[in-house]
Amino acid sequence: MDNNELLNKVTSKAKEWLSETYDEKTRQEVRRMLESEDKTELIDSFYKQLEFGTGGLRGIMGAGINRMNIYTVGAATQGLSNYLKVNFSELDEIKVAIGHDCRNNSRLFAETCAGVFAANGIKVLLFDDLRPTPELSFVIREFKCQSGIILTASHNPKEYNGYKAYWDDGSQIVAPHDVNIVNEVKNIKPEDIKFNGPDELITIIGEEADKLFLKKVKTASLSPDVVERHKDIKIVYTPIHGTGVKLIPAAIRAFGFTNIFNVPEQDVVSGNFPTVVSPNPEEVAAMKMAIEKAKKIDADVVMASDPDADRIGVAVKNDKGEFIIVNGNQTALLFIYYIIIKMKENGQMKGNEFIVKTIVSTELIAEIARKNNVEYFDVYTGFKFIAEVIRENEGVKKYIGGGEESFGFMPADFVRDKDAVTSCALMAEITAWAIDQGKTLYELLQDIYLEYGYSKEKMKYVVRKGQSGAAEIQKIMESLRNNPPKILGGSDLEVVKDYLSLKEKNVLTGKESDINQKTTSNVLQFFTKDGTKISVRPSGTEPKIKFYFEVKGQLTSREGFDLAEEIASSKIDSIMEELGL
Average pLDDT over residues 417-446: 98
| CA–CA dist 309, 237 (Å, integer) | 12
* Pair 161, 106: CB distance under 8 Å: yes
Q: List the single range of 428-432, 473-477, 569-573 with lowest mean pLDDT.
A: 473-477
Q: How many domains does the chain have?
A: 4
Q: E strands of 195-234, at which residues?
A: 202-205
Can you count the helices (H) and strands (E) in the chain? 19, 23
Domain assignment of residue 145, yes or no:
yes
Helix 328-345 × helix 420-436 angle, to 10°: 70
Q: For position 53, what pLDDT does the model report?
A: 76
Question: In terms of domains, do 235 and 257 share one?
Answer: yes
Average pLDDT over residues 291-304: 98
Query: In 3-state terms, what secondary structure has residue 494?
Result: strand
Three-state SS sequence of 155-202: CCCCCEEEEEEECCCCCECCCCHHHHHHHHHHCCCHHHCCCCCCHHHE
Does the pLDDT at position 234 exceed 80?
Answer: yes
Domain assignment of residue 212, yes or no:
no
Domain's final residue, options 394, 424, 449:
449
Q: For position 3, what pLDDT does the model report?
A: 76
Question: In terms of domains, do 292 and 329 share one?
Answer: yes
Does the pLDDT at position 542 exceed 80?
Answer: no
> Which residues constitute the domain of residue 59?
48-205
| CA–CA dist 245, 305 (Å, integer) | 9
* Pair 474, 539: CB distance under 8 Å: no
Question: In terms of domains, do 230 and 140 share one?
Answer: no
Please list the active-site residues. Answer: 154
Q: What 8-state DSSP symbol labels residue 303?
A: E
Domain assignment of residue 536, yes or no:
yes
Domain assignment of residue 210, yes or no:
no
Q: E strands of 468-579, at which residues?
A: 487-488, 491-498, 503-506, 512-514, 524-528, 533-538, 544-553
Task: Tell me how many degrees the CA angle 507-513-516 measures, rounded to the nearest 5.
Answer: 130
- The highest-confidence range among 2-11, 50-59, 405-414, by mean pLDDT, is 405-414
536: β partners? 524, 547
As a whole number, the mean pLDDT across the chain is 95
Domain's final residue, options 147, 172, 205:
205
Average pLDDT over residues 205-230: 98
Question: In terms of domains, do 235 and 95 share one?
Answer: no
* Pair 444, 432: CB distance under 8 Å: no
User: Beta strand pairing status for 160-166 and 57-60?
Assistant: antiparallel
Q: For position 2, what pLDDT does the model report?
A: 66
Question: In 10 A of CB 35, how many CB atoms?
Answer: 8
| CA–CA dist 42, 32 (Å, integer) | 9
Q: What 8-state DSSP symbol labels residue 259?
A: -
- Calculated CA dihedral for residues 444, 279, 256, 415, nearest 10 degrees: -90
Question: In terms of domains, do 186 and 249 share one?
Answer: no
Question: In terms of domains, do 312 and 390 share one?
Answer: yes
| CA–CA dist 217, 447 (Å, integer) | 28
Q: What is the torsional sign of CA 462, 466, 468, 472?
A: positive
* Pair 354, 376: CB distance under 8 Å: yes
Q: What CATH number does residue 167 fall under?
A: 3.40.120.10
Query: What is the gyration radius of the CA atoms in the chain, in angstroms?
Result: 24
Question: In terms of domains, do 479 and 395 share one?
Answer: no
Does the pLDDT at position 541 exceed 70?
Answer: no
Average pLDDT over residues 411-434: 98
Question: In terms of domains, do 509 and 403 share one?
Answer: no
Domain assignment of residue 516, yes or no:
yes
For 377-420, the DSSP string reads EEE-SSHHHHHHHHHHTTTTSEEEEEEETTTEEE-STTS-S--H
* Pair 547, 534: CB distance under 8 Å: yes
Question: In terms of domains, do 71 and 152 share one?
Answer: yes
Does the pLDDT at position 466 exceed 80?
Answer: no
Domain assignment of residue 241, yes or no:
yes
> pLDDT-derived band of residue 1, with 50, 70 and 90 as boundaries?
low
**φ and ψ at 190, to 5 degrees?**
-50, -40
Average pLDDT over residues 278-301: 96
| CA–CA dist 464, 441 (Å, integer) | 37
Q: Which residue, among 454, 462, 455, has the nearest Cα to 536 in the 3D structure?
A: 462
The model's pLDDT over 169-188, given as tens digits with 9 standing for 90+, comes to 999 998 899 889 999 999 99
474: left (phi over 0), alpha (psi -120 to 50) or beta: alpha
438: left (phi over 0), alpha (psi -120 to 50) or beta: left
Domain assignment of residue 253, yes or no:
yes
Question: In terms of domains, do 174 and 234 share one?
Answer: no
* Pair 79, 187: CB distance under 8 Å: yes
Q: Which strand (E) or helix (H) includes residue 326?
A: strand 323-326
Average pLDDT over residues 261-279: 96
Question: In terms of domains, do 176 and 247 share one?
Answer: no
Domain's final residue, options 205, 229, 257:
205
Q: Which residue, among 79, 92, 242, has the nearest Cα to 173 in the 3D structure?
A: 79
Domain assignment of residue 574, yes or no:
yes
Q: For position 465, what pLDDT does the model report?
A: 77
Average pLDDT over residues 491-512: 96
Q: What CATH number does residue 554 fall under?
A: 3.30.310
165: β partners? 149
Q: For position 374, what pLDDT does the model report?
A: 98
Question: In terms of domains, do 27 and 88 share one?
Answer: no
Task: Report in angstroms the alpha-carbon separations of 217 from 393, 412, 421.
Answer: 22, 9, 8
Q: List the single range of 272-281, 379-388, 416-425, 463-472 with lowest mean pLDDT.
A: 463-472
* Pair 165, 80: CB distance under 8 Å: yes
User: Beta strand pairing status for 375-379 and 512-514?
Assistant: unpaired
